[in-house]
Amino acid sequence: MNKLIRVVDLYKSYYDELTELPVLRGIDLEVKRAETIAIVGTSGVGKSTLLHLLGGLDRPTKGKIFYEGEDIFALNDPELDRFRNEEIGFVFQFHHLLPESTALENVAMPGLIARQKSDVAQHRAKELLDYVGLGERLEHRPSELSGGERQRVAIARALINHPKVVLADEPTGNLDQKTSEAVHDLLWTLNDQFSQTFIIVTHNQTLAQRADRLIQLVDGQVSDQVDSLDF
């Protein structure tokens, strides 16, 4: 089965006292295995909200998200926490690395949370850091790394548990053009080498146009979906 994710009639509203602020207004979406998708749209349109729901970081007001046929919001909170840690990888604009931990420790952390043995998690973390070009920086803390290096550590961390999908929210939004291009190349190399599924929220048109499919959100709804061949 090539279908990985199915989003059905997804709504999300936030509430301030008696006021409802609708953000997503009925999203329907399907994602295939090994697909790269770029989600674009103006600020405040709901791109990050959609990504958070796809990752189980928040629950919808209405609607369902299925991973391989399983409704993730039918899970209780501990089950959803476990699913999120083991099946989803996250990469954010700001890397959110633990400042007092080394690159190796940061990458290994989700593996340890998933109850991998320490030596297994550290071996996997070293392999990933080698792969992203940081094999000589294992013992460096985030403050000792450049912005691009920190983001590579975050990408390696996202992959430690062999997730079904990697969700990236403006992964190069805080980087200069040259460093951004290097991170873009890395994401596509990972997709090519490991058939990793990527869903990326971005304002970067160069990054968006490299995706297999571009999804545009307008007023909390899918306005358009374009295959890369149609760019």
Q: Is residue 135 included in any domain, yes or no?
A: yes
Q: Does residue 153 lie within any of the structural domains? A: yes
Query: What is the pTM (predicted TM-score) of this model?
Result: 0.87
pLDDT in tens, 11-31: 999 988 789 889 999 999 999
Let me know if residue 28 belongs to a domain.
no
Q: Is residue 99 part of a domain?
A: yes
| Mean pLDDT estimate for the chain | 88
- Buried b / exposed e across 54-71, counting CB within 10 Å, b at 16+? bbbeeebbebebbbeeee
Extract the tokens encoding 83.
């699913």
Answer yes or no: are the C-beta atoms of 28 and 8 closer than 8 Å.
yes
Residue type, 20: E
Asked whether residue 73 is domain-assigned, the answer is: no
In a domain, 206, yes or no: yes
Distances (CA, A) of 56 to 85, 89, 222: 10, 11, 20
Provide the residue range defining the domain that includes 141.
34-59+78-230
Q: Comparing 8 with 91, which gets the higher pLDDT? A: 8
* CATH label of the domain that carries residue 162: 3.40.50.300
- The answer to whether residue 130 scores a pLDDT higher than 70 is yes
Residue 229 pLDDT grade (very low, low, confident, very high; cuts 50, 70, 90): very low
Looking at per-residue confidence, does 31 or 190 come out higher? Answer: 31
3-state helix, strand, coil in the chain (%, to 5): 40, 30, 30
Query: Would residue 53 count as lying in a domain?
Result: yes
**Residue 138 forms part of a structural domain:** yes
Domain count, the chain: 1
For 36-83, the pLDDT digits (tens) are: 999 998 888 889 999 999 999 999 999 999 999 999 999 999 999 989
